[in-house]
A and B are shown apart, each in its own frame.
Chain A
Amino acid sequence: MNASRTHLAILGTMSELHRQPISYDLNCLQKIVADVSPDLLCAEITREDWERGDFAQAALEVREALAPTIASMDIILIPVAPSLKQYRDFTPDAGWRHGVVRNFDRLLRWGQIQADDVKTINGMWFGTFCHTVCWLTEMFWTAKDRVAWETQNQELVENIVRAIQRDSGRRVLVAVQCQRLHRLIPLLHAHHDLFKVVAYQNL
């Protein structure tokens, strides 16, 4: 591994969609982060909330897994969420589109419950399933929301890129909701001159 070049791995998480007691294995997520022990961990919390120590609006995995794990380790959390709005907030309020999106959400939630842990979520089969369902879901959002979602993902990537430019040559783990992955991965690959994207197991 070339030590002077930034290495970046992307880890999909999925607690955000659960509205019932969660089966998703946060211990597994904690163990992966502790084992990988990246220099920088980019996570979905806004800078303002992170600096205030306010986790109320943060994703469950940030609040209950990532923040406690890094507290006693030499891992620095980089807050990269551009806003508080999450994937579920883009669901249309009413009408037939609302019904279709709800059904896709149920399908995704079913898939997540079957997957249950971070390793499966970041595997090929679930990845394909999740990307397809999310891509179809977005088709039924309003045009305005699709643009807002795309903009949010671009801003999130810009925040990641800024962190890497500030501190190049480090091992960076990006932990984001799996619903973003099909948007985020191509955007991050576009910056291949700044960093090399690797699997989290190889970081």
Chain B
Amino acid sequence: MTVNEITVSVGGSRELDRAGLAALIASLPGLRVVPIDKNPPPQVLVWITSRDTDQYPSVQTDTAILLLTEGAAYESLPETITGLLSRDESPAALGIAIRQVSRGEQYLSPSLVPAILQKRQAKSGLTDSETSIINTLTEREREILEYLAQGLSNKLIASRLYLSVRTVEGHLANIYLRLGVHSRTEAMLMAVRIR
């Protein structure tokens, strides 16, 4: 039996927010809260944004950054930020998001998807080559792509299909490869265009 705890730090401008979030994260299984300046650096930095500041954390090479947001300013995010978690999400979703970004994957709260898609004007048709690529996807991959278009997290997709999260991640890696995309957001955009 192995216990691989994920080290997490919490940052942001408001001390009370930081303390509350740190206590919540510490209560979740498999996560350990560490100081932000710890050496080695934490695996995940959860950064709380607020309306009155646009400050983002300074980059630490090996640290995945998860932004806790109210949905604003996502278009101006630095590339170092790998996850966007809405403040409307449940504590359980916070745990899932932390685990996902700690593995080097991206996380996007389902509730933020509509706004992102609207801003990017995703509703354009598929090209012929894109259509032929879509046709090569397996039934399971299409199913997962459909859930991706709905903005579901990997955990929720896995729950719906009664598959492990690792299996869904494997399917997503294949989907990205076949579609020639490099991120979850790009795959989501294409998935919405397919629908």
- The answer to whether the Cβ of B112 comes within 8 Å of any Cβ in the partner chain is no
A167 — which chain B residues lie within 8 A by C-beta?
162-164, 167
Task: Please report the C-alpha to C-alpha distance between residue A71 and residue B91 in the assembled complex, in whole angstroms.
Answer: 9
Residue of A37, A72, A77, A200 near B95 (CB, 8 A) is: A72
Measured between beta carbons, the chain B residues less than 8 angstroms from A71 are 92, 95
Contact partner of A73 (CB less than 8 A), chosen from B3, B30, B166, B167, is: B30
Near B by CB (< 8 A), chain A positions 123-179 give 163, 166-167, 170
CA distance A136 to B154 in the complex (A): 46
Point out the residues of chain B lying under 8 angstroms from A39, CB to CB: 164-167
Total interface residues on B, using CB and 8 Å?
21
- Chain A 62-98 interface mask (CB, 8 Å, partner B; 1/0): 0000000101111011100000000000000000000
The docked-state distance in angstroms from the alpha carbon of A69 to that of B99 is: 14
Q: Which residue of B lies closest to A78 (CB)?
A: B162
B24-68 Cβ-contact flags toward A at 8 Å (1 or 0):
000011100000000000000000000000000000000000000
6 closest Cβ pairs, A-B complex: A72-B95, A39-B164, A34-B29, A71-B92, A74-B165, A72-B92
C-alpha gap A35/B30 in the complex (Å): 8
Q: Mark A175-189, 1 if CB is under 8 A from B, else 0.
A: 000000000000000
A202 to B167, CA, bound (A): 21
Nearest A residue to B155 via CB reads A74
Q: How far is the CB of A85 from chain B (nearest CB, A)?
A: 23
A76 and B158: CB pair below 8 A?
Answer: yes
Shortest beta-carbon distance from B135 to chain A in Å: 24
Tell me how far the C-beta of A175 lies from the nearest C-beta in chain B, rounded to whole angstroms. Answer: 15
- List chain A residues, Cβ under 8 A from B183: none
A119 to chain B, nearest CB (A): 11
B29 near A72 with CB under 8 A, answer yes
1/0 per residue B175-187: CB within 8 Å of A? 0000000000000
A185-203 vs B, CB cutoff 8 Å, 1 = contact: the mask equals 0000000000000001111
Residue B10 is within 8 A (CB to CB) of chain A in the complex: no
Among A13-29, those with CB < 8 Å from B are none
CA distance A74 to B28 in the complex (A): 12
Considering the chains assembled together, what is the distance between the CA atoms of A163 and B159 in angstroms?
A: 12
* B162 A163 Cβ-Cβ under 8 A: yes
Interface residues of A (CB under 8 A from B): 30, 34-37, 39-40, 69, 71-74, 76-78, 163, 166-167, 170, 200-203
Picked from A69, A166, A200, A201, the residue with its CB within 8 Å of the CB of B163 is A166
Give the interface of B toward A (CB within 8 A). Answer: 1, 3, 28-30, 91-92, 94-96, 99, 154-155, 158-159, 162-167
| 26 contacting pairs across A/B (C-beta < 8 A) | A34-B30, A35-B1, A39-B164, A39-B165, A39-B166, A39-B167, A71-B92, A72-B91, A72-B95, A73-B29, A73-B95, A73-B96, A73-B99, A74-B99, A74-B154, A74-B155, A76-B155, A76-B158, A76-B159, A76-B163, A76-B164, A77-B159, A163-B162, A167-B163, A167-B164, A170-B167
Write out the residue numbers on chain A whose beta carbons fall within 8 Å of the beta carbon of B162.
76, 78, 163, 166-167
Closest to A33 in B: B29
Q: Chain A residues near B99 (CB, 8 Å)?
A: 73-74
Given A73-B29, A74-B165, A76-B155, 8 new contacts (CB under 8 A): A36-B1, A39-B166, A69-B29, A71-B92, A166-B162, A166-B163, A167-B162, A202-B1
Contacting residues, chain B, for A40 (C-beta < 8 A)? 164
Contacts of A202 in B (CB 8 A): 1
User: Taking the nearest CB of chain A, how far is it from the CB of B176, in angstroms?
Assistant: 19
